[in-house]
A and B are shown apart, each in its own frame.
Chain A
Amino acid sequence: MILEKGRISSSQLILPLLGYCLSYSVIFMPGQEAGHDVWISTIAGIGEGLFLAFIYVSLALKFPGKNLLEINDYIYGRYLGKLISISYLWYFLHIASLVLRNYGDFFSGVFLVETPYLVFIIPVMIACASAVRNGIEVITRTAIVLMPITLFMYVFNFFFLLNEMDFKAFEPFFEITFKQFTDSSHHVAVASFGEAVVFLLIFPFINKVKQIRMPTFLGFILAGGVLVLNAVQNVAVLGAASKVSTYATVQAVRIINVGDIFTRIEFTVYVILVATVFLKISILYYGVCLGTAQLLKLRTYLPLVLPYGIIIILLGTFQFENVMQIISWFNETYPYYSLPFQIFLPALSLIIAYIKNPSQEGRAK
């Protein structure tokens, strides 16, 4: 039984990947701890991200038409493979809940201060549930509508902030220690690029699997370019304050004032955030539902969508008490927690795949 009948073309992959990689990196500015050298560590983070993309793409090309769970089953055997697949599903569920909580906290902390975050979380979750029930084609098409608007708003903000920028803020050049540099660049890589491991569940739905290499790299490079642009903008506008402010991008965009007409246009950041977070949560949520249905050998994943939606909302609610806890968790635990899922297991799978060499086995049969 085929769980998903939809197919997407390889060029359609770029925009969902871009939105997925940006999401809350837009407001949090990962690698912030590098201070005014954040743009250098972001560029280094893109390098690490491209290495990760290389691992994921090679894994997908090694097993064309197979998704992450089937690859796990093939490589690690039936039982260990299932265990690893379950831990991956937990990881996706967990990230989805964290992204959702960040989103809610951002709005109740910056935009409508008196309103509880559940008010922001529930509507976006209903939209995501609807997108997931409609399948992968609908999610990619929403990306095609939403992402150009997002990119336009980025460029718009950057140009309107140009006269506020002070490029002396980047001096002295490379003031951080090597450990700080590696820490912050690794942080950039895991927070924005590494989470794209969920795309291993989506690669089999691409009609020409052999052509996924270019779109994946292009999506990563585009996302990296936007992140560097964002980092440069925030440091140049805010100076030293960019290191300590929780939501640096909003602080920077608030300053825009063009002839007293274009003022208070931080709503553009809200629009960007809503669009990208919607994409990120729908893709993760879709991965969780599809993976569970495949693991339990169900004929359809639709009945799992609504219960999983509620579980994601609840997981987001009770795990943390406030924003500061989340941020410290993201800085201290997350870079280590995501290592096995994003780097070790895919790399190990790739090495074992090269030793086992499935393509020759397929030919022998």
Chain B
Amino acid sequence: MKILMFFVFILIFFFEAPGLIQKKYIRELISFLVLWSLAFVLSFLITYDVKIPSPSEGIARITKLIVKGLY
């Protein structure tokens, strides 16, 4: 399963990057690499069962604080 994940990421890299390098779209290449590595790190952490703080839970806490403060 983990090998499959690595394979998918490498596939996506070779699908997008060569064309961008050929056209000399450097800005696009950098933003692609940043997002790609973010996705890679996230899925790496999830497959190795690292607990990531949930943004929705954080949002729930903040809204609760604000709503309580207003009422």
Question: Which residues of A pack against B, CB within 8 Å?
Answer: 94, 98, 292, 296-300, 302-304, 306-308, 310-311, 314-315, 317-320, 329, 332-333, 336-337
Given A306-B15, A314-B39: A298 and B56 within 8 A (CB)? no
Question: Which residues of B pack against A, CB within 8 Å?
Answer: 12, 15-16, 20, 25, 27-29, 31-32, 35-36, 38-39, 42-43, 46, 52, 54-57, 59-60, 63-64, 66-67
C-alpha gap A98/B54 in the complex (Å): 12
Q: Which of the residues A292, A306, A320 comes within 8 Å of B12, measured between beta carbons? A: A306
Q: Which of the residues B20, B32, B43, B56 comes within 8 Å of A329, measured between beta carbons? A: B56
Could you tell me if B39 and A332 are in contact, using CB atoms closer than 8 angstroms?
no
C-alpha gap A237/B9 in the complex (Å): 48
Could you tell me if B16 and A306 are in contact, using CB atoms closer than 8 angstroms?
yes
Q: Report the minimal beta-carbon distance from B70 to chain A, rounded to whole angstroms.
A: 10
Given A298-B31, A311-B35, A314-B43: A320 and B16 within 8 A (CB)? no
Which 9 A-B residue pairs are closest in the complex by CB-CB distance? A307-B35, A303-B32, A310-B39, A333-B60, A319-B54, A336-B63, A307-B36, A319-B56, A314-B42
Could you tell me if A329 and B27 are in contact, using CB atoms closer than 8 angstroms?
no
Q: Report the minimal beta-carbon distance from A185 to chain B, rounded to whole angstroms.
A: 18
Could you tell me if A311 and B32 are in contact, using CB atoms closer than 8 angstroms?
no
Residues on A with C-beta less than 8 A from B43 are 310, 314
Could you tell me if A311 and B59 are in contact, using CB atoms closer than 8 angstroms?
no
Residues on A with C-beta less than 8 A from B15 are 306
Could you tell me if A300 and B25 are in contact, using CB atoms closer than 8 angstroms?
yes
Could you tell me if A307 and B60 are in contact, using CB atoms closer than 8 angstroms?
no
Instruction: Give 15 pairs: A residue, B residue, CB < 8 Å, sorted on A.
Output: A94-B56, A306-B15, A306-B16, A307-B32, A307-B35, A310-B43, A314-B39, A315-B55, A317-B46, A318-B42, A319-B55, A319-B56, A320-B56, A332-B60, A333-B63
Q: Report the minimal beta-carbon distance from B12 to chain A, rounded to whole angstroms.
A: 5
Residues on B with C-beta less than 8 A from A329 are 56, 60
Could you tell me if B28 and A311 are in contact, using CB atoms closer than 8 angstroms?
no
Q: Report the minimal beta-carbon distance from B67 to chain A, rounded to whole angstroms.
A: 6
Residues on A with C-beta less than 8 A from B56 are 94, 98, 319-320, 329, 333
Closest Cβ neighbor of B5 among chain A residues: A310
Could you tell me if A337 and B63 are in contact, using CB atoms closer than 8 angstroms?
yes
C-alpha gap A307/B37 in the complex (Å): 9
Residues on A with C-beta less than 8 A from B57 are 319
Q: Report the minimal beta-carbon distance from A190 to chain B, rounded to whole angstroms.
A: 13
